[in-house]
Structure 1
Amino acid sequence: MKRFYAVGFALLLAFDTLNLICFKLAGTEALPVAMDIAWLLRVFSHPWIYGAVVGYIGAFVTWMSLLKHAPIGPAFAASHLEVISVMLLSWWMFSEPVTATQIAGALAIVAGIVCLAFAESREETAADAVPA
């Protein structure tokens, strides 16, 4: 079951990251923003928007599959790891600055996930120890 979680959350992270990075690329390619048909055609003429759609659909299907089996607390927390991956990829791909506040936030996300995972494993251990 742990392998299922690891693969599932890795897929969720990949799809969510793909979605957000592709939206960023599609938005950059579609500048300047104008709410008219020409702008919409410009948006949909770039493959990045389709990568975003694939990422969104993949993330949705993966998330629904994970929710059938994974404990909700750690699952919900781990679903926010894309904040960190997108921050790092934006720094690398788009030369966006990463501030100390963002690093502290990323560390808080990871710490929260670790705490929830340990709490969940303790609950499972305690439940297994209780005689039926």
Structure 2
Amino acid sequence: MSHIYVLLTILFTVYGQIIIKWQVSNAGVFPQDNSEKIYFIIKLLSNPWVISSFMAAFLAAISWMAAMTKLPLSYAYPFTSSSFVLVLFLSAIFFREPITLSKSAGLLLIILGIIIGSTR
């Protein structure tokens, strides 16, 4: 069950990142004028999707706390790097962001780091 908590932490975190990017992209360019900036931020903070991403962050924290009751931090934490892997692929799918050679190399290093860092 402890690995499920780590997985939930990762999934809630990735959900939050994808939703924030989606909603910020839909909101348009960040305004220059200070009063418009405040309105822009308030509008985003009242957006139900953005609120759901904050809830996901809260649930990720709760899942992480549950995982920490069962697993050593030095074992569990490397798995959180897999959120980078998921975000890279999902940003390519949903936002058409390019997966470059350097990103692919970095991704490979992250995966190797997870494998090496999670050995007990």
Residue equivalent to 2:77: 76
1:15 aligns with 2:16: no
Aligned residues between the structures: 116
Gapped runs of 5+ residues in structure 1? 121-132
TM-score relative to the length of structure 1 = 0.79
| Cα distance in 2 between the residues matched to 1:104 and 1:69 | 33
Residue equivalent to 1:106: 107
State the Cα distance separating 1:45 from its structure 2 match: 4.2
TM-score relative to the length of structure 2 = 0.85
| Matched-pair contact (CA < 8 Å) for 1:16–1:55 | yes
Residue equivalent to 1:97: 98
Identity between Structure 1 and Structure 2 (%): 23
| Cα distance in 1 between the residues matched to 2:67 and 2:47 | 31
1:28 to 5, 18, 25: 25
Q: Which stretches of structure 1, 4 residues or longer, exceed 3 Å deviation after superposition?
A: none
| Matched-pair contact (CA < 8 Å) for 2:81–2:114 | no
Residue equivalent to 2:62: 61
Residue identity opposite 1:70 in structure 2: L
| Matched-pair contact (CA < 8 Å) for 2:82–2:110 | yes
Residue equivalent to 1:5: 2
Gapped runs of 5+ residues in structure 2? none
Residue identity opposite 1:88 in structure 2: F
- Superposition RMSD on alpha carbons, in Å? 1.6
| Matched-pair contact (CA < 8 Å) for 1:18–1:51 | no
Residue identity opposite 1:95 in structure 2: R
